Amino acid sequence: MDSYLLADAETVVARARAGDLDALEALYRAFEVPVYNLARRICRTAEDAEDVLQETFFEVCRSIGRYREEGSLWGWVRTIAASKALMRLRRNKYRETEELHDEVLGRHREDSHLRMDLEAALERLSETSRAVVWLHDVEGYTHEEIAEMMGKTPSFSKSQLARAHARLRRWLGEEGS
Amino acid sequence: MSHLSMEELVALREPGLEPGDAVAREHLQACLQCRAEMERLHQRVARLKALPPLRPARDRWPQVESRLLTERRRHRTRNAGLAGLAAAASIALGLALTHTAPPPDQFAQSQQIEEAMQRSQALESELSQFNPEGRVLDGRTAGIAQELEDRIAQVDRELEMTDLQGREARDSSLLQLWRERVGLLDALVDVHVTRASNVGL
């Protein structure tokens, strides 16, 4: 992903380490969309995701001197972004989305007839479940890594993933298909 | 055997073998329904990966850049202020020791101030080698570090104000403030050292 996003990554990183603002902006432009996408998939609102984007790049700019080039640059940036997004989730203490919807709409489990598209179904998952699904299935983090970032156990991550898939399956109308 | 649960299906997608995986795999091979369920799981994950990326509505770089520049200015000001303070205090102490003959207890106090200043400079040097501004901190640690830095800045302001005091009062305040500064810097170094030993980021 690095070479695709940032043609001359080594030079840009070297300049960024020296504090060159143009190079730091080049890093921002290269990773702006994937960082925002990751944040938006985890956070409830676009505003929160934009704040995570801003916090992530402020941290990237301050910490670029610590990037060791052992892993990919995107992997390093992504870990910062994921940590910031999960931190925001904890700070905001969102109520579980699906529980809220169920209360408001006075429904419980009789929604098996629903058939949503994937975006809507993903959005309907609780913040924690959605974060686990995205980090594991899309970003490729292991349950151990997710557990460490969330301050939970790998078993927690595994059970969240299984529950989320059971719900997605139902909401996408895949049951009995 | 009954059909595989979602937990078992999800577990079978993981690399490596867990206890019970062998039995579950055997069932998967033999059961059309579970194979279809596993295929749906694979497809769902593939569809998740294929979702188009969401893009921010606003450009946040100007805010990042502005905050970065503000922090750089603050850092430069603090370093310049510190160097000035240390120099001014050294000159004042030197003059006091050269031109007057201070009583023994006052001489001891001047030495203690000198020692505290040297310790403060050593800690600043240790902190700068540690590159605290280039370190990833979690929210709580960052909050503690920020609070310590704010208190150090407050002590620096109070050190500047000691110039307005009479000599005896000034020496007494100087010693207290430089010692406080050393304590705060010590704590700040501890925050970064502890963080470095705990985190691999």
Q: What is the pLDDT of residues B171-198, one digit of tens each?
A: 778 888 888 888 888 888 887 777 666 5
ipTM (interface predicted TM): 0.84
Give the rounded percent of residues in chain B with a pLDDT score beyond 90. 23
Query: Which residues of chain B neighbour A122 with C-beta distances below 8 Å?
Result: 48, 51
**B95: helix, strand or coil:** helix
| A161 CB-side CA count, 13 A | 31
Burial (Cβ within 10 Å: 0-12, 13-18, ≥19) of residue B126: middle
Region A144-166 average pLDDT: 95
Residue of A52, A54, A31 whose CA lies nearest to A42: A52
pLDDT-based confidence at A103, cuts 50/70/90?
Answer: very low
Task: To the nearest 10°, report the CA torsion of A56, A59, A61, A67.
Answer: -100
Whether A109 contacts A40, CB under 8 Å: no
pTM (2 d.p.)? 0.64
Query: Which residues of chain B neighbour A172 with C-beta distances below 8 Å?
Result: 44
Residue of B135, B153, B151 whose CA lies nearest to B191: B135
Please report, for residues A121, A154, A167, the alpha-carbon distance to residue A170 in angstroms, rounded to integers and kept in the order given.
9, 25, 5
Distance of CA B65 to the CA centre of its chain: 20
Contacting A residues, span 17-76, partner chain B, CB-CB under 8 Å = 19, 21, 24-25, 28-29, 32-34, 36-37, 40-41, 46, 49-50, 53-54, 57-59, 61-66
pLDDT-based confidence at B167, cuts 50/70/90?
Answer: low
Q: What share of chain A is helix, strand, coil (3-state, %, to 5)?
A: 75, 0, 25
